[in-house]
Structure 1
Amino acid sequence: MFSNPYMMIAAAVLATVSSARAESPQRLAAGWRHSVVVDERGGVWSWGENRLGQLGDGSFNASPLPVAVRGPGGEGRLADVVAVSAGTHHTLAILRDGTVWAWGNNAFGQLGNGAWGLQAHSNLPVPVLGPAGKGVLRGAVAVAAGWDHSVAILQDGTVWAWGSSCHGQLGDGVRDSNRWSTHPVQVLGLGGQGRLQRVGAVACGIHHTIALLDDGTVCAWGGNWEGQLGVGARRQSGRPETRHSPTAVQVLGIGGDGILRQVKAIAAGVFHNLAVLEDGTAVAWGYNGGGQLGEGTRANFWEGNANVRQVPAPVRVVGPDGQAALEKVAAVAAGYEISWARIDDGTLRSWGWNVFGELGAGLPLGVNRDRPQLIRRGDGGDGEGGDQPLLGDIVEFAGGVRHALARDAKGRIWAWGHNGFGQLALADLMDRTFPVQVPEFSESPAKPPQTRPAGKPRRRTLHDQLPGDARRFNVRDYGATGDGVHLDMPAIQAAVDAACAAGGGIVLLPPGVYRTGTVRLNSGVQLHLDEGATILGSTNRTHYPQQGLIYADGARNIAVTGPGVIDGQGQAFTSRAWRVQILYLNDCDGVNVCDVTTRNSGSWTQHYIRCRNLSIRGATVNSPRPGRNNDGIDLSGCEDVLIEDCTVISDDDAIVVKSQSSDRVNRNYRVLNNRVFTYRGAIKLGTETRAPYANLVVRNLEGWGPKAIEIYSVDGTELENVEIEGVRAHDAQAAILIRLGARLRPHYFQQGEPIAPGSLRGVRIKDVQVELSDKSYREILLEHGIDNAGVADCRRYPPRAGFISGLPEHRIEDVRIENVSIRHPGGGRETDVFRSVPERPDAYPSSSIFGQLPAYGLYCRHADGIQLRNVTIRTENADPRPMLVCDDVKNLLVDRMNATAASPRFPVIWLIGVDDAVIENCTAPQGAEVFVAATGTAPALDRIRLQANDTRHAATPLRRLAPGELIASGLPLFRETSPGLVVMEADQLWLVEPMAVQTDAERPSDRHIAVATPGSREQGGAYGRFEISTPGEYVLWARTFGPSAESDSFYVSIDGGPPSLSDLDQLGAWHWTAVRNRIEGKSAGRARTVVPLEAGRHTIQIRNRESGTRIAKVVIVRKDLPFDPERDLSSPSWQ
């Protein structure tokens, strides 16, 4: 079985297919951010990220186009390659002669060439040494590459590994953070007895390794934080026991019953594994945060408990219906929180978290699926659904961390998912949710487009000067190596403890890289990082007794300073379970954070809880990697805070003030002269808002991509006295979002505390300039040359100017907004004006909480004392919506609020139920039919005053409407055909999408209106006006067609009155329906709709209720007239 190297398949890191019964070696490999392919002549091509030389082309330059891997010493091309494997940042290859070559990152000796260290990486292939470092490794038939280790199977069925032993991933019995091997060591047998033999396939995760034996069983070794070893044990808490093992252990059977048997293929993801059984079904175990185990219980990955997030024994992968098992599986692959499978018919399936489009099914970015999805090509149109052609005839595929590759029977290579570093061979660096074809390889490829290099940090003036009389404690004097490989945690902590014992002092980190877990700061200690000094977070959770890299609790007079860097290596942790924060300070007094850079956090980058006298100046945060809640600077219950001259680049909110319990009061903040890059909140109060907020001042804040200002009270807090001044936001998603809600999370309230909404009052916002756009966050970071921009979110979001929205019984009070300029791209639809804006009191507050708003500018609701002064909103493209909509607002002042364009159909300002409003010094733009429309009743309507406005361009300065009266102007007008009779052709009404004019195939000359899109219930409508000469009671008729019982009703309303829900009289034929209003449900009966009308003009609204209901004509006739539409009206369309 082990004599023929071409019958084996290599298993790449974190995904690539492996099988003991493969018919050809693995010739595709996908790593963290790069891709590798073996061509038909045995040459190797690679593309993507290359900062550590993982492309093997002799350079350290990234390439979005395939480049040839060079030969040894850079001579010619690497040739005679039969298999490849891509690790996180290194690559392995097997040559025809059975030797193994490696290139890329070599910090822990994972290249196996006898070297190690941060400067030991190689951008050219080097041979892997033999055991004990003698000669070269020979007889290799399969290789697998992990985060910082490598594994090979030899022809005799033994397994050899090299690289880091931090988690026991080498399987040689060693689990030591200061031990690694720069040459192959033999993997021991089960329980450390003898040597592991008769191995047919191997696969590497980030901290673990799995192997398939020739008897169909599977063993595993290394880290077990998420149950990825498959040993099945759980604590009483429900989480897996962390039974790490530096030697092989057997993977248990399904549900922990017996031993897993009859396995024919395996794959390892970052924290989970997959296996294919002989019967064609698949099983999975390990981390399940994104539904990547495919067992069907993680449809919403924001919910659920540890019992489904960490699964320590195999479970079956379900089929698309979520019930029966997925069948006819030929091979599998696994990534970060994603899994793939190839079916016997050559098609592919995927399941898990679609952060970058790695599902390949055209689904929106950010969603997850916990059951298999069909992977489709993207050449059949845009969007999700069955209209796209299947990606078929796949003979080989490989999965990376966030992207995948596949080769079809014609030799074409397809790629999809993350492309932030060009790993899909697309130079635009944008992700793809469908597979795209990789260009053909060329010895002289076209020069890839030049991308802007990563920007240098702006020159900073250091805010902190080391006091000359303070005692210094150099960590090198306590044993720190600063080589980035050895664990320096004990030495750094010893220096901190010594400084504290001496009554305080400066713990100095000179230039170097210091790998460490939690460092606990004690009172009186200043941790200072010199220029060139980096604290590097360990990837081993054992090194974190607290969930922070730099941690303090109850300390006084502490500081973290200097121009150095603290790197959390957050990408090495899961995105939903246990994660590390970089600065985690609780209940501290006298905290000084100056000049330091914190980056790559696993969670909130800087987190301060109940801290007092806190100063953060000149700090830089760089944490754009998509995760869950990767905020920049988080403050919870802090007092007397200064945040000044900081730069924050974050995947989530940039500067955010929170409160999760009633004792976390936020008071006396000054946030001055900061700049942020984010696609979430630039400055955000909330969402956790339990204790009072008071006296917060924000001045001179500049942001790129953000929701500029977010102010929320949704968990019972009293929020007041907030001043925000001098905000500039570029390519922003939203300008101003203010929300008083009633989410009221119960666990934020102590026993006996009343659970009730809070208050929001006293907000002052002035001097704000916002340019809205739908540009993706990654595009923004790339344009500005931000380091690590390729990991950023690639989604586009609809821009919204903003809202001020309280609750009917809990109103926002006293908000003043002054000197604001907003540029909006426009593009809204007329249908948006008619949307009923939901209240959603308990919803998570965000810019999309209410969906598309009826105003392109500001939407205000349930508020008292709103002042809008000198506010200008410009639209770049046509937008029919009003500039301002106010609903249930009292004491409103609109002074010098101007729009640059208007729709002739809708007002510029729409006031609904507004009492006591003054509109003054405003200018009506050209094209405005109505300047202000006010809907309501007297006497409130009489308290709406317009004064000193320029309304020359508006035909109607103020239009008063009764409740429910249609707001649109310029609707088609139908006149009587005879006294008391109006006949309206439905196709001449004004239509709101998705209502549209249609024809029947058998009678193309006949026209009617309908909503054809299935499932478009309650969407779309038709509007018009009619004129009658005599008053009286009127009834309605409609010429209708209903194809089924699911398409047999519609709404009709006259003059904005209550709509009649009318059912059709017949199905399957055109007929006249007498409009009747359903009473208490369909079975309870129907009453003929009778409408009393005065002589003059009236409006009619026909709204869709069930898609498919067709309407050709509508008749309004006086009730006392003897009228029969079949008798009195004749037209070919009625016969």
Structure 2
Amino acid sequence: MKAPCQFLLCFVLALLFTRASAQTGAAGFFNVKAYGAKGNGKVLDNQAIDRAITACAKSGGGTVYLPAGNYLCGSIHLKSNINLFIDAGATITGAPAALNAYDQAEPFTDTAYQDGGHTYFHNSLIWGEHLENVSITGRGRIDGGGLTSKDKEHMGDPTGGSIGTGDKAIAIKLSKNILIRDVTIFHGGHFAILLTGCNMVTLDNLTIDTNRDGIDIDCCINTVVSNCRVNSPNDDAICPKSSYALNRPFITENLSIVNCQVSGFKEGTLLDGTMVPAKAGWSNGRIKFGTESNGGFRNCVVSNCTFRSCNGLALEDVDGGIMENIIVSNITMMDINHYPIYVTLGRRNRGPKSTTRMGHVNNILISNILVTGADAMSGIQITGTPGYPVRNIKIQNISVQYKGGGTKEQGEKQFPELERGYPEPFLLGVNPAYGLFIRHAKDVALDHITFSTLKPDNRPAIVASDVDGLEIDHFKIPDVKGIKQLRTDKVTNLKIDNSPFVKE
């Protein structure tokens, strides 16, 4: 019996050592309850979590552990070399504004050429700056609770003012080697996740069901967003940007968005599984590059993604940056509001006059896209600006089912230029082409494209204006009696093959 007793004693000692390690921070493991966190959802726990983070960082790094419980919190301050691990059954809940538990928004020392959400970071639930090797992981949840979701720009003031108490769920700035994985974010405030000026970022297996933007990737390089589900009925789901928040143009490049799902269901209905479509407003649920684009976008891939009950894909370069070497492939879309695909070069040029020049859009490949239930308001739009065409655009293997129902009068109207306006198609009204509108472009290739309509549409399938170099091959569209399916104006070097209903 001696050996079993010795085994039992060793087991008990090992268990006690493990528990002591969890409580005291031995072996790089820091349980927030050892630092005063209650996890009862009634008292503020952010200071206790901060104590655990500070102890972890001082010891050289490790894991800050949140066991199951509800942690009511104001601002939590990240530090380098820590993994904030939110375990299954644990929730960080954003405190109500009345508790004054969030940090004040920091001063912004220059003119803000971007909205308040991109200007201020400290008034967030979880934030950090100038960090290295930071992770937020675990199967737990971040519930924004009392986080705010409006800024002055969206209330009519474009000056980018401070947006108040408790702004974002996670905000990380000027940091590198960032990992956010497995967590769920509900009601994330202005942005559920905002990354600005970061390098080597991985966002993986996240579930976000929120009231404004889901993920904003601003002025970041070497970023991978993978296997994420993002529902955002009132704004964009995944939104790369390159704003002037760093007081200079800074490009977003080497970005991959793969195997993700975006949607515009009513907030909370992704998480509860009912997936109730929200009414389409300004924007909802899409993947959008821009609008902030002072630096621009380069070497970016969007692949193997689904869109559901939301706006379509948008590539918007309007603030003087570049947009080049962009590949979009293997996308399915269902019940799409406003438009399925939107590529535009505008001249809003929001930035200092001394540094802001006209941008350019070049080398875009969009392929293998299947769309059903697309809005009758607008088809695919590819537009530059007078004197500044978008260049080398190729669209291939695209099938779009439109709702149809457009009138002949709508097809004959003159479509307004974007120029310096906000780049949102619905602001320009119904498009004269139900399928594809191209203006101010050079070297556009359309290959193996099929359009269909649920109801007859009396607008042209294609309207092209001020285009030099337009190749159309294997273009399949319905034949509508009395409607010319291709309308052109100032189109040179036009080549049409294997497209019986597409005629000049």
Q: Residue in 2 aligned with 1:145?
A: none
CA distance in 2: counterparts of 1:828 and 1:571, whole angstroms? 42
Max radius of gyration: which structure? 1
Identity percentage over the alignment? 30
Q: Secondary structure of the residue that 2:126 maps to in structure 1?
A: strand
CA distance in 1: counterparts of 2:202 and 2:81, whole angstroms? 15
Q: Residue in 2 aligned with 1:740?
A: 345
Q: How does 1:982-993 map to 2 (within 5 A)?
A: none
Q: How does 1:271-670 map to 2 (within 5 A)?
A: 471-540=28-97, 542-545=100-103, 546-570=122-146, 576=152, 577-578=163-164, 579-623=166-210, 625=211, 630-650=212-232, 651-661=234-244, 662-670=248-256
Q: After superposition, what is the alpha-carbon deviation per residue over 1:992-1020, rounded to whole angstroms, capped at 9, x for unaligned?
A: xxxxxxxxxxxxxxxxxxxxxxxxxxxxx
Q: Residue in 2 aligned with 1:922?
A: 499
Q: Residue in 1 aligned with 2:467?
A: 889
Q: Secondary structure of the residue that 1:838 maps to in structure 2?
A: coil
Q: After superposition, what is the alpha-carbon deviation per residue over 1:584-634, rounded to whole angstroms, capped at 9, x for unaligned?
A: 0000100000000111122111100001000000011111x3xxxx11100
CA distance in 1: counterparts of 2:422 and 2:298, whole angstroms? 22
CA distance in 2: counterparts of 1:853 and 1:645, whole angstroms? 34
Q: Residue in 2 aligned with 1:762?
A: 363
Q: Residue in 1 aligned with 2:483?
A: 906
Instruction: Determine if contact 1:570/1:601 at 8 Å carries over to the other structure.
Output: no
Q: How does 1:106-125 map to 2 (within 5 A)?
A: none
Instruction: Determine if contact 1:730/1:770 at 8 Å carries over to the other structure.
Output: yes
Q: How does 1:218-237 map to 2 (within 5 A)?
A: none
Instruction: Determine if contact 2:147/2:167 at 8 Å carries over to the other structure.
Output: no
Q: How does 1:834-983 map to 2 (within 5 A)?
A: 834-899=412-477, 901-924=478-501, 931-933=502-504
Q: After superposition, what is the alpha-carbon deviation per residue over 1:611-666, rounded to whole angstroms, capped at 9, x for unaligned?
A: 1000000011111x3xxxx1110011000000000000112111111111243210
CA distance in 1: counterparts of 2:430 and 2:65, whole angstroms? 53
Q: Residue in 2 aligned with 1:801?
A: 379
Q: Secondary structure of the residue that 1:772 maps to in structure 2?
A: strand
Instruction: Determine if contact 1:539/1:573 at 8 Å carries over to the other structure.
Output: no
- TM-score, L = length of structure 1: 0.37
CA distance in 1: counterparts of 2:336 and 2:48, whole angstroms? 45
Q: Secondary structure of the residue that 2:189 maps to in structure 1?
A: coil
Runs of 4+ in 1 over 3 A off after TM superposition: 570-577
CA distance in 1: counterparts of 2:68 and 2:128, whole angstroms? 24
Q: After superposition, what is the alpha-carbon deviation per residue over 1:236-288, rounded to whole angstroms, capped at 9, x for unaligned?
A: xxxxxxxxxxxxxxxxxxxxxxxxxxxxxxxxxxxxxxxxxxxxxxxxxxxxx
Q: After superposition, what is the alpha-carbon deviation per residue over 1:959-1000, rounded to whole angstroms, capped at 9, x for unaligned?
A: xxxxxxxxxxxxxxxxxxxxxxxxxxxxxxxxxxxxxxxxxx
The one-letter amino acid paired with 1:672 is V
Once the 2 structures are TM-superposed, how far is the Cα of residue 756 of structure 1 from its aligned partner?
Answer: 2.9
Q: Secondary structure of the residue that 2:172 maps to in structure 1?
A: strand
Q: Secondary structure of the residue that 2:169 maps to in structure 1?
A: strand
Q: Residue in 2 aligned with 1:382?
A: none
Distance 1:835 1:573, change over 3 A: closer
Q: Residue in 2 aligned with 1:723?
A: 327
Once the 2 structures are TM-superposed, how far is the Cα of residue 574 of structure 1 from its aligned partner?
Answer: 5.9
CA distance in 2: counterparts of 1:807 and 1:609, whole angstroms? 29
The one-letter amino acid paired with 2:168 is Q
Once the 2 structures are TM-superposed, how far is the Cα of residue 770 of structure 1 from its aligned partner?
Answer: 1.1
Once the 2 structures are TM-superposed, how far is the Cα of residue 706 of structure 1 from its aligned partner?
Answer: 2.2
Q: Secondary structure of the residue that 2:446 maps to in structure 1?
A: strand
Q: After superposition, what is the alpha-carbon deviation per residue over 1:862-921, rounded to whole angstroms, capped at 9, x for unaligned?
A: 10010111110100101111111111111111111111x233222112222110011101
Q: After superposition, what is the alpha-carbon deviation per residue over 1:334-383, rounded to whole angstroms, capped at 9, x for unaligned?
A: xxxxxxxxxxxxxxxxxxxxxxxxxxxxxxxxxxxxxxxxxxxxxxxxxx
- Structure 1: runs of 5 or more not aligned: 1-468, 775-797, 925-930, 934-1135
CA distance in 2: counterparts of 1:677 and 1:723, whole angstroms? 21
Q: After superposition, what is the alpha-carbon deviation per residue over 1:911-932, rounded to whole angstroms, capped at 9, x for unaligned?
A: 22110011101132xxxxxx42
Q: Secondary structure of the residue that 1:848 maps to in structure 2?
A: helix
The one-letter amino acid paired with 1:838 is P
Once the 2 structures are TM-superposed, how far is the Cα of residue 799 of structure 1 from its aligned partner?
Answer: 4.1
Once the 2 structures are TM-superposed, how far is the Cα of residue 838 of structure 1 from its aligned partner?
Answer: 1.2
Q: Secondary structure of the residue that 1:704 maps to in structure 2?
A: strand
The one-letter amino acid paired with 2:236 is D
The one-letter amino acid paired with 2:227 is D
Q: Secondary structure of the residue that 1:803 maps to in structure 2?
A: strand
Instruction: Determine if contact 1:882/1:902 at 8 Å carries over to the other structure.
Output: no
Q: How does 1:967-1116 map to 2 (within 5 A)?
A: none
CA distance in 1: counterparts of 2:410 and 2:301, whole angstroms? 35
Q: Which residue, out of 254, 257, 267, partners 1:671? A: 257
Q: Secondary structure of the residue that 1:913 maps to in structure 2?
A: strand
CA distance in 1: counterparts of 2:374 and 2:357, whole angstroms? 37
CA distance in 1: counterparts of 2:129 and 2:381, whole angstroms? 39
Instruction: Determine if contact 1:505/1:524 at 8 Å carries over to the other structure.
Output: yes
Q: Residue in 2 aligned with 1:689?
A: 293
The one-letter amino acid paired with 2:206 is A
Q: Residue in 1 aligned with 2:389?
A: 811
Once the 2 structures are TM-superposed, how far is the Cα of residue 543 of structure 1 from its aligned partner?
Answer: 1.1
CA distance in 1: counterparts of 2:304 and 2:27, whole angstroms? 34
Distance 1:593 1:573, change over 3 A: closer
Instruction: Determine if contact 2:377/2:429 at 8 Å carries over to the other structure.
Output: no
| 1:713 equivalenced with 2:317 (yes/no) | yes
CA distance in 1: counterparts of 2:89 and 2:175, whole angstroms? 28
Q: Residue in 1 aligned with 2:106?
A: none
Instruction: Determine if contact 1:722/1:763 at 8 Å carries over to the other structure.
Output: yes
Q: Which piece of structure 1 moves more, 539-548 or 472-481?
A: 539-548
Structure with greater helix share of residues: 2
- Structure 2: runs of 5 or more not aligned: 1-25, 104-121, 153-162, 265-279
Q: How does 1:205-284 map to 2 (within 5 A)?
A: none
Q: Residue in 2 aligned with 1:752?
A: 354
Q: Which piece of structure 1 moves more, 655-664 or 696-705?
A: 655-664
Q: After superposition, what is the alpha-carbon deviation per residue over 1:49-93, rounded to whole angstroms, capped at 9, x for unaligned?
A: xxxxxxxxxxxxxxxxxxxxxxxxxxxxxxxxxxxxxxxxxxxxx
Once the 2 structures are TM-superposed, how far is the Cα of residue 570 of structure 1 from its aligned partner?
Answer: 4.3
Q: Secondary structure of the residue that 1:742 maps to in structure 2?
A: coil
- TM-score, L = length of structure 2: 0.82
Q: Residue in 1 aligned with 2:158?
A: none
Q: Whose RCO is larger (CA < 8 A, sep 6+)?
A: 2
Instruction: Determine if contact 1:590/1:614 at 8 Å carries over to the other structure.
Output: yes
The one-letter amino acid paired with 1:634 is D
CA distance in 2: counterparts of 1:829 and 1:669, whole angstroms? 41
Q: After superposition, what is the alpha-carbon deviation per residue over 1:134-181, rounded to whole angstroms, capped at 9, x for unaligned?
A: xxxxxxxxxxxxxxxxxxxxxxxxxxxxxxxxxxxxxxxxxxxxxxxx
Distance 1:710 1:582, change over 3 A: same
Distance 1:665 1:572, change over 3 A: closer
Q: Secondary structure of the residue that 2:55 maps to in structure 1?
A: helix
Q: Residue in 2 aligned with 1:771?
A: 372
Over aligned residue pairs, what C-alpha RMSD do you find? Answer: 1.6
Distance 1:470 1:686, change over 3 A: farther
Distance 1:705 1:470, change over 3 A: farther
The one-letter amino acid paired with 1:847 is P
Instruction: Determine if contact 2:243/2:295 at 8 Å carries over to the other structure.
Output: yes
The one-letter amino acid paired with 2:102 is Y
Q: How does 1:33-44 map to 2 (within 5 A)?
A: none
Instruction: Determine if contact 1:771/1:822 at 8 Å carries over to the other structure.
Output: yes
CA distance in 1: counterparts of 2:336 and 2:418, whole angstroms? 24
Once the 2 structures are TM-superposed, how far is the Cα of residue 773 of structure 1 from its aligned partner?
Answer: 4.4
